[in-house]
């Protein structure tokens, strides 16, 4: 992937983080609590723009600190499987058995 394309992808991801909430636009009350892991994710995404980094390694500390943060889990390579999170590398059956 060219560095220009990578920069574009990262910038689009950052823009998505700052986009107004769809629930707010629909008139629904949004969660009053911001995701505490957002600053860590933003730092890692900005580091990716500057050069190649290991996103999972950089987010490991934030994941320990903010284990319940959906944003940190998603950016660290986890996917939502029902009500729990599993590593993207894990098979769905293995994730369900571990829960």
Q: What is the pLDDT of residue 4?
A: 78
Q: How confident is the model at residue 88, as a pLDDT? A: 85
Q: Which residue has the higher pLDDT, 71 or 30?
A: 71
Residue 13 φ/ψ region, left for φ over 0, alpha for ψ in the -120 to 50 degree band, beta for the rest: alpha
Question: What is the overall mean pLDDT for the chain?
Answer: 78
With 0-12 CB in 10 A as exposed, 13-18 as middle and 19+ as buried, what is 40? Answer: buried
pLDDT for res 15: 64
- What pTM was computed for the model? 0.57
Residue 99 has pLDDT above 60, yes or no: no
CA distance 93 to 99: 10
Binned at pLDDT 50, 70 and 90, residue 8 comes out as confident
Place of tokens 């969660």: 31
**What Cα–Cα distance (Å) separates residue 36 from each residue in 24, 41, 76, 88?**
19, 10, 15, 22
How far is residue 10's CA from residue 16's CA, in Å, rounded to a whole number? 10
Length of the chain: 99
Structure confidence at residue 65 (pLDDT)? 94
pLDDT at 78: 92
Nearest to 12 by CA among 45, 40, 37: 45
> pLDDT tens-digit profile of 21-66?
444 444 444 555 789 999 999 999 999 999 999 998 999 999 999 9
């Amino acid at each position: 992937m060219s560095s220009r394309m990578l920069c574009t992808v990262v910038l689009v991801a950052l823009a998505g983080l700052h986009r107004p909430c769809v629930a707010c636009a629909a008139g629904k009350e949004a969660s009053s609590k911001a995701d505490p892991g957002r600053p860590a994710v933003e730092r890692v995404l900005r580091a990716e723009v500057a050069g190649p980094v290991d996103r999972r390694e950089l987010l490991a500390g934030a994941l320990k600190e903010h284990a319940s943060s959906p944003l940190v889990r998603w950016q660290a390579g986890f996917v939502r499987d029902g009500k729990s999170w599993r590593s993207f590398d894990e098979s769905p059956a293995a994730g369900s058995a571990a829960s």
